[in-house]
Structure formats: structure tokens, C-alpha cells
Amino acid sequence: MYCRGPAAALPALLVLLTLGLLACGGGDGSAGQVDAVLVFGRGSDSVGLDPALETDGESMKVCDNLYENLVTYASGTTEVVPQLAQSWDVSDDGLRWTFHLRTGVRFHDGTPFNADAVLFSLDRQFDQDHPFHKPSAGTYSYWKDMSMDAVVADMRADDDSTFVIELAEANAPFLSNLGMNFCAIVSPSAVRRHGADYFKNPVGTGPFRFVEWRKDERIVLGRNDDYWGEPASLDRLVFKYVQDPSVRFLELRSGAVHGIDNVSPEFIDAIRQDPGLDLLTQPGMNVGYLAMNMERAPFGDVRVRRAVNHAVNKQALVENFYAGLAVAAVNPIPPMMWSYHEDISGYAHDPARARALLSESGLADGFDTELWVMTAPRPYMPQPGKIAQAIQADLAKVNIRARIVTVDWATYLDKTFDGQHGMCLLGWTGDNGDPDNFLYVLLDKTAAVKPAQNVAFYKSEEFHDVLLAGRRSTDVAERTRLYRRAQEIVHADAPWVPLVHATQTAAFRRGVEGFELHPTGSKWFRSVTLRR
Amino acid sequence: MKGFILRRLALLIPTLGGITVAVFLMIYLVPGDPAQVMLGERANAETLAALRQDMGLDQPFHIQLGRFLGDLLTGDLGRSFRTHEKITVEIINRFPATVELTMAAMLFAIVGGVALGMVSAVRRGGMIDYLSMAVATAGISMPVFWLALVLILLFAVALPLLPISGRLSASIYLEAPTGLYVVDSLLAGNLAALGDVLRHLALPAITLGTIPLAVIARMTRSSLLEVLGEDYIRTARAKGLSPLIVLVRHAVRNAFIPTLTVIALEFGYLLGGAIITETIFAWPGIGRWLFLAVMARDFRAVQGGVLLIATLFIVVNLAADVLYAWLDPRIRYSK
């Protein structure tokens, strides 16, 4: 036939191109290379890097390394320890808190750290007349969420190294709140300079400074050589965005990233068996639960709610969907939290008992209901769809016919907070290690106002009174007693099936040392070293 | 011709206006709002109300739409609810990644598809024809995520030759004035970075280019076969012209018009971003961004993204129409 010309040559050209491409590779480029670069792979990019504005964990992870607070949490616990404040005094009535600040500290942009900077950082969230009180997009939602407007009466800088907060009422969780990301101290001059764009030009006092952010690609931090404490060992810290969990795992194995967090249950075994990888775990400060809407029949009847509790096999959920990296929940708060009531044994998995309770309440033939489930995996529930199916099967065994309703996350929040469900799956990750941050937020009657975080619409006067007393007291023994009582009340009323407390996970390549998971989920790389 | 182009461009305005209102309406009617998604589990009534007020979501529909259209007319797409960033900046940040990936995928698709199509047309009924059409059929039928995983297993796990995520290795620093890393690394004269960028491009480009390659191959084959059967081709052969000249000068040019239509459509389509490919290879393009914006009910971002994609699609197709006239002088657009 004719034509031995260009058409035949093209495939050859393609092959040549491909070979050339492969040959280009091999060693990483030498230009612009720095020494100790640690790459951390994660499933989402940060939303922003203004610590007062952000609500997502991926933003916090980066902020953890850029910023510092007056106080922080000790390694492995939620005990409050000094950071930018060296010490503090509290007046006898518990209302005036005087913080004595560290001196000689500078922000990454050279601005000196002092009481005015602290005032600026907190006051912009508090004072409605502050020039930076209205961010151009978003709101200071954590400040509002943690009720800081109601707790704080006044703040002032007495001198360069003395900062005073006057409280409106004694509030036990207040000091813990100061350790949270939203109370991080930002450089006032940087906020003034960048205004609405501060969220991508962050300046703090932390062990790393901001270098660059390529959206949906990577955030690069560099060591702060002028750090007031022991400088970090890493030259660079890169947060790389790799959405797909399988690809993230492959990248860890190939060495393209040094560490990942929120490891998918299906890769746990592979990581354990790989001698080049280390699996880190830490009891999680979270809860995943099934809420029964008490405003809808038949969940107004406590016997029905207890029957549902007896029907669900939590241990099977832990084994099948968490690779064993979770504990079956008994109480709304996790066992690692102070005041946890270990004498409550929980509702045993007992289908016969569940059926008996249903008969007692006149529902011997069971009933039809809905089980709502979100599509998006959450830290406390990595495989929500499968968990819903397992629960559906458990319930079917006691004649509760639950239809699964699956909608996307935005619709889910909208509908469940509006009480349109019979039962729904949801959960919570704690912020500051205080039991109030679980019980009051999720189960108090004040949280049952639509749009409600209390999606069981549980309204108990006794429970409310106990929680209020717990907020007002600053005596830990007294608070412990109150929160144990609160757990007893919730257990008896059974508005939820507390399902699991998921274990936090991270995996690193051998050679990365000094990383510790923290109950709050903070990711601090200050003391991490990279051995090569 | 000039009048034709101007008329087509003028048509952009009502088209985009209609799309804008339709998208706004759609997002408005779907349950959930950006404030709720931003706060997630921690959306208590008070904070939610404050955030909705800050975002202007407490205003009635016509005021929200009016404000949005007003901003749009002054060229201001506003700031994203989800990321605090200006929508224009968000697009500028991500669009180059999509363009680079689209270019690479289309290069792969056009070179490979035209070559396959020509070879099978010329060797019709032979082994090569069957083989290349089998490849083309497989290419069309394969789900993108599956192809991506197979490529990853082959080239990154079994033979660890190519990287599988992102656009650049973490150890390489590259200034990116254009955002097209191939161009940026050439501008910087950084060959190591260029190699790294090309290696990162390879798997996503092959994944994304495979379907267009298959479509182009089939289209090229069938239109070339049709043209090769025409009388004038026989005449040209009878004149004693070399087979190569007959093919290139007489057949291919005429056979190329339908192929060009397909190329333009695929090109416009890929410029809108490719959610699956971007997700698997962690490619920071416009598709994934737009997907997240929809999930977060970030309607300003969705608007901006949809407007961009609609404009591009229309412009690319207009460019194809203009090319037809150039390729085939018989096509003349009425004034």
C-alpha cells in the first residue's frame, strides 16, 4: 500500500517523547533545594490562615505552627500551660485575670510582641467598634460559639507586658478557651497592612513563618530563626493537598510525603506491616452518635429510645468500620476527658431486651422511621454510609424499619438542624478539653432552638441546671461531681445512642521523629526532626 | 467574516445573562447555605444568624440577586464565602493549572488520535486498523477513575517512574509568574524544574486525554475513509502523484473538518476542569474548586466559575467555526 510517511512516524514520535520525558526525571532538581523539608499530606487545603476567622481543621493545622497564644495545652493532655504569658493571677472573685507576658518576643515581620498586640488580637473579635471587627468575608464565629461575648466584660493593656481581662461572670472553661486557635496572637501591623487579604499573609510569633501558599496545591512554611524558644529543627514544612485517600497512602509509601493524618481504616494494616512506616494513635476527643428526634413519635417515649440503644451493636461498628481504632461509646463525652463517668455501664447490645421494651410501649410490631446519614466522611465517622447500613440491619432485627436518607452535607445540616429527621447520625470534635464543650453544646435545652445543634431536641430542666452550675463553679472537684451527675441524667433519658469515640491517627515514614498527636487535634511540628 | 464574529460575540451577553440568573436561582433553591456549611456541626442558632447577616444571606431573594448583578456589571465577582478570597483571584490561581493540563491532554489526544485514525484509514481492514480501533473503543468505554488507577499502579507503583500527585515536587522551588509551570520553568531557565513539571503532567494528561484521543481517532478514520473514496482522489492518484502527497495535500485537509469540530468540543469541555482527574492526581484546577464551591453553596464562586466556563466554551467553538472557513473555502459565513 501507499504511505510510509508522517502517519507511520507519529507513533514513533510519541514513544520518543515519552521516553524523553521519563529520562528528564529521576533525581529531584538540585536548583533551589533546601535541607530538611518535611512534607505533610492531607485531604483538604486550608480555607484561610487568620486564626480568628477559620473553623476548619485544615486551617488550624497550619495556624498551629505559625501562631502562639497566651496559654497552650501541655503535651498529650488538655492541661493549660503558659506560652506567650509567663504567668497569670486571678482575683479572689474569679473575675479579674492578669497575664504577665513574655518580653523580647517579635512577630515574624519584626513587630514587637506586647500587651497591645494581645489586645488587638482579641479585641477585634470582641469590640463592635474595633476597625477590624467586620471581616470582609466570614465572621469571628469561634469567639461567638464559645460564648466569649457573654463571658468577657473588658480587656486592657496595663503596660507593655501586663494584659488584663475582666469577666462578666465566673466561667471555668474561659482559660482553656484562651489556648484555642481563635485566641492566637496576630501581628497588628500585618493585619493593618493586608486588611481583607490577611488570611493569606499570616504573621505570628510561632516557630515557623509563612513562605508561600499555592491554592489547592501546597502551603510552605519556613523555620523562624528568631524564635524566642528552641528553634525548630526543620528548615521547611510543606502541607500538601492530596484529596484521594488511596493516593495519599501511596505517596506516603513512595516517600513523596513524610506523614499523613486521618488514615483511612483500609490502610491501617498495610501501614502496620510496612517496616518503613510508623502508625501513631491517640484516643480521640470526639463522639459519633445517633440522635433520636424527641419531638417526633415514637421517640418521645423513653422506652423506645432505650430499645434503640439496646438494638445497636456498637462493638461491631468499631471492628468493621474503624479497623478497631475507636472505642464503643457509653457517655456523650470520651473516656479520656476528666469527669468521665466510668460507673455507667451503658445499654448492652441485647435485641431481646429491645423487643421487650418496644412491646411495653405498645409497639410490639415495631415501627417505621428514617435514619438520616451524611455523605461526607467526618473525623468521628469515616464511613457514614456503611455505618448507617449496619445500624439499619441491627434495627431490623427488632422490627424497627428504618429507611436510610442520604443527602449532601449542606442539605444535611439544614434539614437535621431543623428537626426534619426521625433519627440522624452526627458527631462532635472537642475544642478545649472541657466537658461543657460537649454536654452544653450538644444536649442542653438552649441548643434545641432551631437551627438546633441539639438534634435530639432533648430538653431537660434538671440537666440544664446542673450544666449551668458547672459553668459557674471554678472548683474542679465540684465540677467533676456535677458533670458526672449530668452523664447519669443523659444516660437515663437516652436521647442518643452514643456510638463511638474514634481514635486519632497519623502515619509517618521512619526517620521522622518527635511528632506527637494531641487530644485537641493540634499538629505541632516544633520539635519534629527528619533523619535521612 | 468580521460581522459574523462580532455577531457571535454579541450573542455571548444574553447567553451569559441567562446562565447567571439560572445558576443563582438553582443554588438559592437548593437547601443549605454557605454559612451553615462553613460552621458545620458547630452551627448554633446565634452564630449562624450572625454569619448569615455578615454574608447578606438574611436579605430577600430579589435584593441578593440585585446586589450580585450590580457587582457583576462593575466587573466585581465578589469574595468567595468559603475561602474569603476574591473570586477573580481564585480563578486566576487555578485556571492556569487547568489550561496546562488541558493543553497536555489535547496534545496527547490530537497527536495520538490523528495518527491512529490515519493509520487505520490507510490500512483499512488490516491488523493495524483492527488494533487501533480496538484501542479507540476501549479508550471511550473506560471509566476515567479506573484508567487513572491503572496508570498509577503501572507507572508509580509497579515501575516507580512517575509522580502521582500535584504539579511539582516539594523540594523544587519555582517562581510562577504565568502559572503555567512548563512556561515558568522555561522562563526561569530551570531545566530540572521543567523535567519535574513534565513528569507530574504525564499521568493526568494521559488520563484526561484518552477519551478525546479515542473520539478523534474514530472521527479521523471515518472522515478520511470517506474522502479517500472520492473521485478527485482517484484522479490525483491517476495523475501519478505520490501516495504521500495525495494523502497530505488532498485528503487530510478535507477530512480534517469533522475532526476539528470534535477537537474544539473536547477542548472547550476540558477547559471547564476535570473533577475526577483533578481529584485523583491532586491537580489544583478549576473543576475541583467549582465542585467544592457547589457543595459549600458558595454561589458567588459557582457563578464566577460557570461564567468563565460558558465564555470559554462559546469562544472555543467560535474559533473552530472560523477555522472551518479557513480550511474549506466553500464555507462562507453570510454577512
CB-nearest to B193 from A3, A11, A29 is: A29
Give the A window 434-463 contacts with B, CB below 8 Å. Answer: 441, 447, 449-453
In this prediction, residue B334 carries a pLDDT of: 54
Q: State whether the Cα torsion A513-A519-A523-A526 is positive or negative.
A: negative
A64 φ/ψ sector (left φ>0, alpha ψ -120 to 50, else beta): alpha
Burial class (CB in 10 A: 0-12, 13-18, 19+), B187: middle
Give the β-pairing of A400-407 and A367-374: parallel
Which residue does chain B place closest to A412, by CA atoms?
A: B32
How far is it, in rounded angstroms, from Cα A378 to Cα A390?
Answer: 17
Torsion of CA B225, B230, B232, B236, to 10 degrees: 40
Helical axes B87-122 vs B286-295, angle rounded to 10°? 130
In this prediction, residue A15 carries a pLDDT of: 45
Closest-CA distance, B122 to chain A, in angstroms, reads 8
Most distant CA atoms of chain B, gap in Å: 86
ipTM, 2 decimals? Answer: 0.85
Angle at A28 between CA A25 and CA A34, to 5 degrees: 165
A413 touches chain B (CB under 8 A): yes
Angle at A260 between CA A431 and CA B42, to 5 degrees: 25
Q: What is the DSSP letter of A195?
A: G
A15 touches chain B (CB under 8 A): no
In this prediction, residue B6 carries a pLDDT of: 83
Closest-CA distance, A495 to chain B, in angstroms, reads 18
Most distant CA atoms of chain A, gap in Å: 102
Cβ separation of A250 and B85 shorter than 8 Å?
A: no
How far is it, in rounded angstroms, from Cα A96 to Cα A99?
Answer: 10
Cβ separation of B190 and A31 shorter than 8 Å?
A: yes
CB-nearest to A3 from B156, B247, B282 is: B247
pLDDT in 10s for each residue of chain B, 335 residues: 677 778 878 877 888 888 888 888 887 788 888 888 888 887 888 888 888 887 888 888 888 888 878 887 887 888 888 888 899 899 999 999 999 999 999 999 999 999 999 989 988 888 888 888 888 888 888 888 899 999 999 988 888 889 989 999 888 888 889 999 999 999 999 999 999 999 999 999 999 999 999 999 999 999 999 988 888 888 888 888 888 888 888 888 888 888 888 898 888 888 887 888 998 999 999 998 998 888 888 888 888 888 888 888 888 888 888 887 777 777 666 54
Query: Are A298 and A363 within 8 A, CB to CB?
Result: yes
Question: Around A355, how many Cα atoms within 13 Å sit in the side-chain half-sphere?
Answer: 9
How far is it, in rounded angstroms, from Cα A322 to Cα B314?
Answer: 48
pLDDT in 10s for each residue of chain A, 532 residues: 333 344 444 444 444 444 444 444 443 433 444 589 999 999 889 989 999 998 888 999 999 999 999 999 998 888 899 999 999 999 988 899 999 999 999 999 999 999 999 999 999 999 999 999 988 777 888 898 888 999 999 999 999 999 999 999 888 889 999 999 999 999 999 999 999 999 999 999 999 999 999 988 999 999 999 999 999 999 999 999 998 889 999 999 999 999 999 898 889 999 999 999 999 999 999 999 999 999 998 999 999 999 999 999 999 999 999 999 999 999 999 999 999 999 999 999 999 999 999 999 999 999 999 999 998 888 899 889 999 999 999 999 999 999 999 988 888 988 999 999 999 999 999 988 899 999 999 999 999 998 899 999 999 999 999 999 998 887 889 999 999 999 999 999 999 999 999 999 999 999 999 999 999 989 999 999 998 7
How far is it, in rounded angstroms, from Cα A54 to Cα A66?
Answer: 14
CB-nearest to A215 from B122, B284, B295 is: B284
Cβ separation of A2 and B243 shorter than 8 Å?
A: yes
How far is it, in rounded angstroms, from Cα A223 to Cα A228?
Answer: 12
Torsion of CA A488, A490, A493, A499, to 10 degrees: -110
- Number of cross-chain residue pairs from A and B with Cβ atoms under 8 Å apart: 255
Q: Chain A partners of B297 at a C-beta cutoff of 8 Å?
A: 410
Which of A37, A148, A244, A258 to mutate to probe the B interface, most B CBs <10 Å? A244
Q: Is the pTM of this model over 0.95?
A: no
Q: Which candidate, B108, B97, B204, places its Cα nearest to that of B155?
A: B204
In this prediction, residue A34 carries a pLDDT of: 54
Burial class (CB in 10 A: 0-12, 13-18, 19+), A27: exposed
Closest-CA distance, A450 to chain B, in angstroms, reads 6
Q: What would the DSSP string read from start to end of A4-70?
A: -SHHHHHHHHHHHHHHHHHHH-SSPP-TT--S-EEEEEESS--S-S-TTT--SHHHHHHHHHH---S
Cβ separation of A2 and B246 shorter than 8 Å?
A: yes
Query: Are A286 and A427 within 8 A, CB to CB?
Result: yes
Q: Chain A partners of B242 at a C-beta cutoff of 8 Å?
A: 2
In this prediction, residue A10 carries a pLDDT of: 43
How far is it, in rounded angstroms, from Cα A59 to Cα A56?
Answer: 6
Cβ separation of A256 and B165 shorter than 8 Å?
A: yes
Which residue does chain A place closest to B33, by CA atoms?
A: A410
Task: Name the E strands within A382-527.
Answer: 400-407, 423-429, 496-502, 504-509, 512-513
Which residue does chain B place closest to A238, by CA atoms?
A: B170
| Contact partners, residue B203, CB within 8 Å, separation at least 6 | B148, B151, B152, B155, B156, B162, B164, B281
- A194-213 burial code (b ≥16 CB/10 A, e <16): beeebbbbbbbbbbbbbeeb
Peptide bond connecting A298 to the previous residue in cis, omega within 30 degrees of 0: yes
The span from the first CA to the last CA of chain B, in angstroms, equals 7
Q: What would the DSSP string read from start to end of B10-27?
A: HTHHHHHHHHHHHHHHHH
Element (H, E) at A153: strand A152-159
How far is it, in rounded angstroms, from Cα A10 to Cα A8?
Answer: 6
CB-nearest to B84 from A29, A199, A217 is: A199
Cβ separation of B196 and A28 shorter than 8 Å?
A: yes
Closest-CA distance, B279 to chain A, in angstroms, reads 6
Query: Are B292 and B82 within 8 A, CB to CB?
Result: yes
Closest-CA distance, B268 to chain A, in angstroms, reads 23
3-class secondary-structure state, position B151:
helix
Q: Chain A partners of B41 at a C-beta cutoff of 8 Å?
A: 378, 413, 426-429, 453
